[in-house]
Structure 1
């Protein structure tokens, strides 16, 4: 159950952030009933408990009207008065002191411009704030903090505001018309300078508009496909090349090692002498 509640709380906070521009640090405006209930339930420091509930940094506020109302309740609420004085005091615009309910209604107004989370145990006050757009309501229930889901009215206001944002208002229409008029004037001036005919002018405007729109949308005329090139092998996964040993060099090296010197021995060429054949007759004479 605790996980489901956390998911629901995150969903509610995202709704108010997207539709009503709530941002951190979240502002929580408390009344005396909420602070008193937190002390009874022993939920700890208000800022830490609310930060854990909303999933972001928070600032807790009270008004001087709330503190003044708690003082009138007697000594039984003296601890609550001390706890509220530790919180940040928000300025209320009214001069005369009012009740806590009237003060909170005045602070919120019709559209909650300060983006307050309202923390109260008053059921009637919570019912009123459900009919105000962009007002999330917090309360203590069963010794734990609870963020109420947005009401049907707040969902309806969010849908209406989203539909309005989809269409241009009068100011945006005027800005668009002035831009179009300036664009046409600039093209007419350039056409007169280059003696351009009237038929070529709208074509040029249309082509420039198309090129600008393509440039803004980053759309290309034709898709370009990149060809995959053959990549070389991973050098870390390849084996090192082995040195090729030439057998002739090994034979010569062994021959040099056997000899006295490292130089090759010269082969001696012997010349054969041709002996003259002396005839026996001549020898005798």
Structure 2
């Protein structure tokens, strides 16, 4: 007869000595925390959230033609799939001059995708696209776009990514451009700027 296998006992922790145990020396013991009582006569300081001066209720006063549109990687890919020429399609959507902007992080992301996305890379290197340099570390494009939009409210973000859309919706005064029914649509654009309503 063979040996019976020993089964391992799972979720068994080694017993540890409590830091308040009598066997532990005085210097190694856990310090008893003293409760700090708040002075009722002290002044209460509340930090007010700073809102940019360009926002007037729901309207962003920095938005206006020519529109600067931050383009995401997947927006370029979906534009190619739906056979849309980017700059004319943007102008058809907004009825004004549009300047597509592409950050270094988005460009690096397209370059990383390889030969399969060489058409997207060629479109991104178009001279009509304005290149925006990035100063931060790393090449995660979503964080880069969110950070840029929170600092400067003069951009429209063009993306198809649901997570990025969700993050941008939390930032007030930033419109989102997306693709639906083989055409560009705009979301959260003020009525004053002549954005089409579908």
Normalised to the residue count of structure 1, the TM-score between the two structures is 0.43
Q: Which of the pair is proportionally richer in strand?
A: 2
* Corresponding residue pairs, total: 132
Question: In the alignment, which residue of structure 1 is the partner of 2:146?
Answer: 105
- In the TM superposition, residue 114 of structure 1 has moved relative to its aligned partner by 4.2
Match of 1:32 in 2: 73
Superposed CA offset, 1:107-146 (max 9, x none): 112xx52410000111010011111011100111121111
Asked if 1:136 corresponds to 2:175, the answer is yes
Q: Output one character per residue of 1:145-175: Cα deviation in whole Å (capped at 9) or x when no partner.
A: 111246xxx9xxxxxxxxxxxxxxxxxxxxx
* Higher helix proportion: 1
User: Aligned residue for 2:89?
Assistant: 49
Aligned to 1:116: 155
Cα RMSD after superposing both structures: 2.2
- Once the two structures are superposed, what CA deviation does each residue of 1:26-56 show, in whole Å capped at 9, x if it has no partner? 1100011001111111112x22111111111
State TM-score, norm by structure 2.
0.62
Which residue is equivalent to 2:133? 91
SS of the aligned residue for 2:59 comes to helix
C-alpha separation between the residues in 2 aligned to 1:146 and 1:42? 15
Structure 2, unpaired ranges of 5+: 1-55, 191-198
Where has structure 1 moved over 2 Å in runs of 4 or more? none
Flag structure 1 segments of 5+ consecutive residues without an equivalent. Answer: 1-15, 155-285
Partner of 1:233: none
Q: Secondary structure at the match of 1:36?
A: helix
> CA-to-partner distance for each residue in 1:167-215, whole Å, 9 max, x for gaps?
xxxxxxxxxxxxxxxxxxxxxxxxxxxxxxxxxxxxxxxxxxxxxxxxx
Select the structure of larger CA radius of gyration: 1
